[in-house]
A and B are shown apart, each in its own frame.
Chain A
Amino acid sequence: MLGISAYYHDSAAALIIDGRVVAAAHEERFTRKKHDDSFPANAVRWVLDEYGLKPSDLAAVVFYDKPLLKFERLLEMYHRYAPRGVGSFVAAMPVWIKDKLFIRGHIRKELEKLEGGKLKNLTLLFPEHHLSHAASAFYPSPFDEAAILTVDGVGEWATTVIGHGSGKDISLVAEMRFPHSLGMLYSAFTYYCGFKINSGEYKLMGLAPYGRKGSARVEEFRRKIFDTLIDLKEDGSLLLNMSYFTFATTLRTVDDRKWEALFGIPPRAQESPITESYMDMALAIQEVTDEVMVRLARTAKKLTGSRNLVLAGGVALNCTTNQKIRDAGLFDRVWIQPAAGDAGGALGAALAAEHVYFDGPRRMEKEEFDAMQGAFLGPEYSELDVERMARRFGAVYTRVADEALYKEVAARIACGQVVGWMQGAMEWGPRALGNRSILADPRSPDMQKKLNLKIKYRESFRPFAPSVLEEDAAEYFETAEPSPYMLFVAPVKEDRRTEGAPADAPLSERLNALRSDIPCVTHLDYSARLQTVSKKTNPRYWALINEFKKQTGYGLVVNTSFNVRGEPIVMTPEDAYRCFMNTEMDCVVIGSCIFDKQDQPYWKRQELYGED
């Protein structure tokens, strides 16, 4: 079963064999074009080649939403708002008439190219967008039975869905419909705070802790959102006040003039300095999102009576909100699909076809494991590939046996070096989980600035996440739950905190103040977006952090994705070496080969980074 997501953003392909997720990859990693939305020809070719398959061997090819239902929504929307929306119509229709109405034909043509001939008996299926999300959340989860909550911008009509999964069955029991959407509300604030919709939502989430919790301005923004922008019901459903939003009729998201009159600040220009007003705004919308999601989770609990919850959809990538749901204590366990955004729809679509359409049995993993294999589902490279790359670039490296490798890399991190770490299969989902990561020492007070400005070439406020040994997490963070996919936050333990700057101190003072003995991963509000590393799912990464612990006493490292701003995470040894040579990273480790910057031949730097 092949699942595909494409033509909107974050194209991807996933392969399911006998109900098991065996391979999945994002197209952007192959084409090196961030959020690539084209047909995932490279990802499809890779997942099929990996198992020696051709398109004609597939039981079905499954696209992650229903294009005609989306077209219906568009037509009804234009009809409802006519004559407003003409500009938007003129912009949207050509691409539908040229491409999107013919998705069935496009997919067939692309697959026939891979097949090298006609495909006579191709079964092409189109589950609904939120069914794909729901399936991506439930089937790979470690639960036999769970409540399902999927929340994003919009699929066809639905923007939020509550469902119930039991065994191999999924039923969708309630939905919220376009244009009323929590995802769209969050995106509207993403735009207003000067970030790009579809990619800047992480930045808005990262900016929120810089707002002053409980301050008059945050409270005022919150009140205005609740009183004017949305009508939030007790069950978590909401109505947007569409006189403030223009996404249904124009190509813009909000009415800037009305928003400025409401909030008293203009939309922030992209790349302009970020003032405290926007930080407070980011915090206000974060708190509103938390409130809405906790209410939705409560409704999911009420409707299903389940003790487990699974989440997917773009909003489920908001780690702060996820933690609020966990903290609300409504469910015993919460599990989130690591590729919760649209790319994950490829996986969900294939799983939905397997279990809903073909009635295939669901095989459960052992209680403690989900079916994602640590999300290491992407391409993997051999030592020979690394040698070939080294020959091509004239790169100089030392091959080191495992134990010595962990010792040397841990020592380098401990003395302040920034290390690229590429091992095994590439991660599925937007987070680097220790196979395509840049690692550093979390104890270093100036590491955050160094990583942002000299390695990642991005805004200096952007926070970093720790990878901590699963068994040691409670030593550093107030948490008892695992967070293998970096989708939850946890407060740094009280006894590790230092006083920091007073809450009313200027921002620069607050930023530069030491907040704990692991300052690089401690956010202004003392939270951290942690990843717990299990010896069972990633033994090499675990061994490295364990060695770092032996040398320093600290069982955690800074983990940021192996890329620079605007570039997709590296996939091949070539990508890794190129990224390494174009930044001020000190060394890169690919498999068992260490490349030290000082040993490398002259390299003419290219600006890899672009807009994200």
Chain B
Amino acid sequence: MDLLKDLWGFLRERKKFWLLPAIIVLLLVGVLIIAAGSSAVAPLIYTIF
């Protein structure tokens, strides 16, 4: 719940509502990726990711 509140506040603050559909789709795809069992290890190239 905290995350959704944060995300909404963030989109309002940055006025980037156009990212909302992308976030929803990406989160869904992300959930699928996790469900498919990919490892959650960040690629180590500086702090890009």
B19 nearest CB neighbor, chain A only: A75
Q: A153 contacts B47, CB within 8 Å?
A: yes
Partner of B47, one of A94, A95, A102, A154: A154
Residue A371 interfacial (CB < 8 Å)? no
B22 nearest CB neighbor, chain A only: A75
A184 to B45 Cα, complex, angstroms: 9
Within the complex, the shortest CB–CB distance from B25 to chain A, in Å, comes to 10
Residue A92 interfacial (CB < 8 Å)? yes
A99 to B33 Cα, complex, angstroms: 14
Within the complex, the shortest CB–CB distance from B35 to chain A, in Å, comes to 10
Q: A93 contacts B45, CB within 8 Å?
A: no
Q: B45 contacts A197, CB within 8 Å?
A: yes
Q: 19 A-B contacts, Cβ less than 8 Å apart?
A: A68-B6, A75-B22, A78-B26, A90-B33, A91-B38, A92-B42, A93-B26, A95-B41, A96-B30, A96-B49, A97-B27, A97-B31, A97-B34, A97-B40, A99-B40, A104-B3, A105-B2, A129-B47, A184-B46
A611 to B9 Cα, complex, angstroms: 42
Residues in A65-96 with C-beta less than 8 Å from chain B: 65, 68-70, 72, 74-76, 78-79, 88-96
Partner of A72, one of B16, B40, B44: B16
Residue A253 interfacial (CB < 8 Å)? yes
B47 nearest CB neighbor, chain A only: A8
Contacts from A to B (Cβ < 8 Å): 8-9, 65, 68-70, 72, 74-76, 78-79, 88-102, 104-105, 129, 152-155, 178, 183-184, 187, 197-198, 247, 251, 253, 342
A379 to B12 Cα, complex, angstroms: 44
A102 nearest CB neighbor, chain B only: B3
Partner of A98, one of B14, B16, B34: B34
**With a CB–CB cut-off of 8 A, which chain A residues contact B27?**
97
A231 to B34 Cα, complex, angstroms: 40
**With a CB–CB cut-off of 8 A, which chain B residues contact A65?**
47
Majority SS at the chain A contact face: helix
Within the complex, the shortest CB–CB distance from B31 to chain A, in Å, comes to 7
Within the complex, the shortest CB–CB distance from B27 to chain A, in Å, comes to 7
Q: B49 contacts A104, CB within 8 Å?
A: no
Contact with A along B1-31 (1 / 0, CB 8 A): 0110011001000101001001100110111
Q: B43 contacts A94, CB within 8 Å?
A: no
Majority SS at the chain B contact face: helix
A126 nearest CB neighbor, chain B only: B6
A155 nearest CB neighbor, chain B only: B47
Q: A342 contacts B47, CB within 8 Å?
A: yes
Q: B33 contacts A101, CB within 8 Å?
A: no
**With a CB–CB cut-off of 8 A, which chain A residues contact B16?**
72
A515 to B14 Cα, complex, angstroms: 58
Q: B43 contacts A104, CB within 8 Å?
A: no
A79-B22 in contact given A98-B40, A105-B2 (Cβ < 8 Å): yes
A198 to B44 Cα, complex, angstroms: 8
**With a CB–CB cut-off of 8 A, which chain B residues contact A8?**
42, 46-47
Within the complex, the shortest CB–CB distance from B39 to chain A, in Å, comes to 7
**With a CB–CB cut-off of 8 A, which chain A residues contact B45?**
187, 197, 247, 251, 253
B27 nearest CB neighbor, chain A only: A97
**With a CB–CB cut-off of 8 A, which chain A residues contact B49?**
74, 91-92, 95-96
Q: A197 contacts B44, CB within 8 Å?
A: yes
**With a CB–CB cut-off of 8 A, which chain A residues contact B6?**
68, 104
Q: B10 contacts A94, CB within 8 Å?
A: no
**With a CB–CB cut-off of 8 A, which chain A residues contact B44?**
9, 197-198
A90 to B37 Cα, complex, angstroms: 11
A9-B40 in contact given A75-B26, A94-B33, A94-B34 (Cβ < 8 Å): no
Q: B46 contacts A91, CB within 8 Å?
A: no
**With a CB–CB cut-off of 8 A, which chain B residues contact A96?**
30, 49
A93 to B30 Cα, complex, angstroms: 6
A76 to B3 Cα, complex, angstroms: 19
A314 nearest CB neighbor, chain B only: B46
A183 to B48 Cα, complex, angstroms: 11
Q: B46 contacts A68, CB within 8 Å?
A: no
A104 nearest CB neighbor, chain B only: B2
Partner of B43, one of A75, A78, A88, A153: A88
A155 to B49 Cα, complex, angstroms: 10
Within the complex, the shortest CB–CB distance from A68 to chain B, in Å, comes to 5
A100 nearest CB neighbor, chain B only: B42
Known: A65-B47, A90-B38. 4 other contacts (CB 8 A): A92-B43, A98-B34, A99-B40, A342-B47
A94-B38 in contact given A68-B7, A75-B23, A102-B3 (Cβ < 8 Å): yes
Task: Give 5 closest A-B pairs by Cβ, nearest first.
Answer: A153-B46, A97-B30, A94-B40, A93-B30, A98-B40
A88 nearest CB neighbor, chain B only: B43
A76 to B26 Cα, complex, angstroms: 12
**With a CB–CB cut-off of 8 A, which chain B residues contact A95?**
40-42, 49
**With a CB–CB cut-off of 8 A, which chain B residues contact A98?**
34, 40
**With a CB–CB cut-off of 8 A, which chain A residues contact B23?**
75
A79 nearest CB neighbor, chain B only: B22
Within the complex, the shortest CB–CB distance from B40 to chain A, in Å, comes to 4
**With a CB–CB cut-off of 8 A, which chain A residues contact B41?**
95
**With a CB–CB cut-off of 8 A, which chain A residues contact B34?**
94, 97-98
Q: A251 contacts B38, CB within 8 Å?
A: no
A368 to B23 Cα, complex, angstroms: 51
